[in-house]
């Protein structure tokens, strides 16, 4: 029996056709995996060659500053999407956390309390999402976060009386809008959070559980992984990301705005998908989220530099999302072929 | 109904059973799934549990791996009575199950599949979810187990979703073997496989036996049972209706016990 297995192996090497096919499929898979990062790189080169202003330090600083909110949201959204979920409430959370921060600032002038209020609001919304979804036994987080999208935006508008509340502590203004030379502080927040996310998803037991729950929830439960707790933490962390994005936004506009972050949830979802994570869950990493966020940021900036009507920006991003989803479909098809090629190879 | 047991099946004796079920009953509402089943499972032996759909095989196995509980009856391991109330209890006792759907994580590599839910990590003063993975250690020991069981994978670092049915089955069986100190239960291990891939899984089952594990195989594939099983237990309508050694001579007898032709 042992020798039979061994001769099978060597016979596989003799058949050139399936092996070449297998190599080809592997190459196709590899290029699909590297695709989003490669496209971003080509985009940067193309825009850089056609638009001299694009790669000046001042404009790069602009891109960073304009993209950091999307990037922070995308990191949180990534965790949610890996577990087959979605968080639609993050845009509204940016508004509410800013408004709460502005109200706290009007009463106390304590920057520590303001920051705690802004970030705490994000955590609270995230905790509500996670707890209602998991313990309320709601079939899909879409409904829960759609509801909180509406509720949270409503509370923000009500609390702010529908208008902007001006004034933020100077430290918040610096974090959200300040820069060292041309590098905005907000990009350091993005880098810091990305590193924490990277640690959590690749080095900690929690990260393994995250991907296990996303890959096969039933098997995760049978393996003794606390799937409910993992799901709750994912929404809490997405809420935290939204709170931090709210902090950056509040600092940028030096105010709490009840209309801030409108449609930001869609940007964050688009970023994760453009970056190459699977909307069906189980697959996606920190790099995907950042690449996706910066692809959106670079496209917007390039169109702005060329004075293209903002309406076209919406269309361009939509087309890129479609392309990314189609690439994901293609990837699924190729993976199916790899499995078949594997079976042929192993006989 | 129980006459064939006494008449034709001299049970194979090889020491005390590692796992013994005595007088197991299980009801689901009006349906009685198990009616007083006794079963011995021994080390270094492949036991086949046979029976038609609804015979009670799956219920029996699910009570062993903690998914269900017997209404009455006892489970003894090495002569000591044990309680299996949850899948974790079964795992702690050294019983691992390979489900028919394999319960693999297609998005993870073999190593991550092996250790899902029982990751090696430290330091121990941290809450479990925040511990750092010992990735090297997990990779090395997974590699060792696969080498020991002579399972060859095309790419050790590829996710399981990119592997063929047979390779996936091999990963699932090896995972069970790696963590089962006593008993490995396989539910229809060759059901979805082609001839050659089935062959490899059967070889793998024999290797588990040679490692002195008790292997329980639930299967409809009679040919495969005849080939690897040392003993066959036949169930019908929640009862054990026969227990004999599979061979060319007993083949028709086993089949008639399964379909109820002995009545």
Cα of A84 to nearest chain B Cα, Å:
13
Where does residue A76 rank: exposed (0-12), middle (13-18), buried (19+ CB within 10 A)? buried
User: What CA–CA distance (Å, rounded) separates A196 from B182?
Assistant: 41
In chain A, residues with a C-beta closer than 8 Å to the C-beta of B118 are: 223-224
Question: How confident is the model over B53-68, as pLDDT tens digits?
Answer: 878 888 888 888 888 8
Residue A329 has pLDDT above 90, yes or no: no
Contact B165, B102 (CB under 8 A): no
- Is the pLDDT confidence value at A328 over 90? no
- For residue B12, the 8-state DSSP code is P
Between A340 and A157, the more confident residue is A157
Most confident of A145-154, B121-130, B175-184: A145-154
Interface size, chain A vs chain B, as Cβ–Cβ contacts under 8 Å: 115
Percent share of chain A, pLDDT over 90: 61
* pLDDT at B9 > cutoff 50: no
Quote the pLDDT of residue B17.
84
Which of B99, B105, B133 has the CB atom closest to A215's CB atom? B105
Contact check, Cβ <8 Å, B116/A212: yes
Distance between CA atoms of A330 and A149, rounded to whole angstroms?
A: 32
Within the 91-120 window of chain B, which residues sit less than 8 Å (CB to CB) from chain A? 91, 99, 103-108, 112, 115-119
- What is the full DSSP assignment across A191-243? HHHHHHHHHHHHTBHHHHHHHHHHH-HHHHHHTT--HHHHHHHHHHHHHHHHH
C-alpha distance from residue B89 to each of A124, A224, B54, B92 (Å): 36, 11, 26, 5
Asked if residue A4 has pLDDT above 70, the reply is no
Considering chain B, what is the average pLDDT of its residues?
Answer: 83
Quote the pTM value. 0.86
Contact between A267 and A70 under an 8 Å Cβ cutoff? The reply is yes
Distances (CA, A) of B205 to A7, A27, B45, B50, B232: 20, 35, 10, 17, 15
A222, B87: Cβ pair inside 8 Å? yes
Which residue did the predictor score with more confidence, A144 or B245? Answer: A144
Beta bridge partners of B96: B184
The pLDDT of A102-128, averaged and rounded, is 94
Q: Maximum distance among all alpha carbons in chain A?
A: 81
Give one DSSP letter per residue of A122-159, joined into a string.
HHHHHHHHHHHHHHTT-S-HHHHHHHHHHHHHHHHHHH
pLDDT of residue B261: 59
According to the model, what pLDDT value does residue A189 have? 93
Residue whose C-alpha is closest to residue A247's, from A149, A118, A126, A129: A118
Band the pLDDT of B15: cuts 50, 70, 90. low
- The tens digit of pLDDT for each residue in A231-246 reads 999 999 999 999 999 9
Chain B hits for A346, CB-CB cut-off 8 Å, are 154, 164, 166-167, 196-197
What span, in angstroms and rounded, lies between the C-alpha atoms of B36 and B258?
18
pLDDT of res. B194 = 77
Chain center to CA of A312:
23
Return d(Cα A201, Cα A205) in angstroms, integer. 8
Interface of A with B (CB under 8 A): 1-2, 4-5, 8-9, 203-209, 211-212, 214-216, 218-220, 222-226, 229-230, 233, 282-283, 335, 338-340, 342-343, 345-347
User: Which residue spans within chain A are E strands per DSSP?
Assistant: 165-166, 179-180, 183-184, 255-256
Q: How confident is the model at residue A22 (pLDDT cuts 50, 70, 90)?
A: confident
Decide: A324 and A33 in contact? Cβ < 8 Å.
no
Choose the weakest-confidence range: A17-31, A283-297, B36-50, B123-137.
A17-31
């Amino acid at each position: 029996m042992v020798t039979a297995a061994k001769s099978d192996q060597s016979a596989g090497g003799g058949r050139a056709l399936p092996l070449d096919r297998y190599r080809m499929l592997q190459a196709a898979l590899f290029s699909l995996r590297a695709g989003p990062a490669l496209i971003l790189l080509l985009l940067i080169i193309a825009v850089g060659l056609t638009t001299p202003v694009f790669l000046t330090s001042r404009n790069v600083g602009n891109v960073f500053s304009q993209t950091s909110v999307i990037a922070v949201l995308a990191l949180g959204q990534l965790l949610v999407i890996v577990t087959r979920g979605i968080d639609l409430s993050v845009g509204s959370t940016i508004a509410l956390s800013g408004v709460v921060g502005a109200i706290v600032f009007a009463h106390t002038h304590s920057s520590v309390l303001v920051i705690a209020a802004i970030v705490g609001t994000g955590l609270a919304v995230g905790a509500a999402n996670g707890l209602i979804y998991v313990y309320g036994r709601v079939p899909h987080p879409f409904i829960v976060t759609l509801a909180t999208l509406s509720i949270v935006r409503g509370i923000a508008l009500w609390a702010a009386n529908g208008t902007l509340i001006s004034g933020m502590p100077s430290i918040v203004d610096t974090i959200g809008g300040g820069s060292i030379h041309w590098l905005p502080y907000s990009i350091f927040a993005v880098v810091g959070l990305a590193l924490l996310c990277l640690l959590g998803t690749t080095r900690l037991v929690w990260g393994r559980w995250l991907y296990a729950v996303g890959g096969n929830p039933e098997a995760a439960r049978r393996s003794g992984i606390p799937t409910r707790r993992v799901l709750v933490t994912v929404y809490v962390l997405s809420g935290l990301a939204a709170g931090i994005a709210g902090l950056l936004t509040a600092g940028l506009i030096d105010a709490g705005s009840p209309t801030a972050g409108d449609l930001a949830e869609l940007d964050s979802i688009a970023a994760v998908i453009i970056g190459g994570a699977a909307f069906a869950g189980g697959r996606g990493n920190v790099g995907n989220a950042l690449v996706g966020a910066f692809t959106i940021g670079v496209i917007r900036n390039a169109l702005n530099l060329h004075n293209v009507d903002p309406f076209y920006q919406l269309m361009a991003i939509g087309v890129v999302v479609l392309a990314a989803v189609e690439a994901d479909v293609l990837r699924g098809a190729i993976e199916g072929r790899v499995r078949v090629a594997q079976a042929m190879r192993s006989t | 109904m129980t006459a064939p047991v006494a008449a034709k099946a001299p049970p194979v004796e090889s020491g005390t059973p590692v796992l013994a079920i005595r007088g197991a009953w299980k009801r689901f509402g009006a349906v009685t799934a198990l009616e007083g089943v006794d079963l011995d499972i021994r080390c270094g032996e492949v036991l086949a549990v046979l029976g038609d759909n609804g015979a009670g095989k799956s219920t029996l196995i699910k009570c062993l791996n903690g998914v269900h509980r017997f209404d009455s009856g006892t489970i003894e391991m090495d002569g000591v009575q044990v309680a299996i109330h949850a899948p974790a209890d079964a795992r702690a006792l050294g019983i691992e199950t390979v489900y028919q759907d394999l319960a693999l994580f297609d998005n993870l590599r073999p190593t991550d599949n092996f250790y899902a839910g029982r990751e090696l990590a430290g330091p121990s003063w941290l809450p479990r979810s925040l511990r750092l993975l010992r990735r090297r250690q997990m990779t090395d020991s997974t590699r060792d187990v696969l080498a020991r069981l002579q399972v060859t994978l095309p790419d050790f670092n590829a996710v399981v979703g990119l592997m063929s049915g047979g390779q996936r089955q091999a990963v699932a069986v090896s995972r069970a073997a790696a963590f089962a100190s006593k008993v490995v239960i396989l539910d229809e291990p060759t059901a979805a496989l082609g001839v050659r891939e089935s062959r490899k899984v059967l070889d793998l089952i024999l290797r588990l036996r040679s490692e002195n594990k008790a292997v329980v195989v639930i299967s409809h594939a009679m040919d495969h049972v005849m080939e690897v099983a040392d003993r066959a237990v036949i169930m019908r309508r929640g009862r054990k209706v026969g227990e004999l050694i599979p061979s060319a001579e007993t083949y028709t007898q086993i089949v008639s016990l399964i379909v109820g032709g002995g009545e």
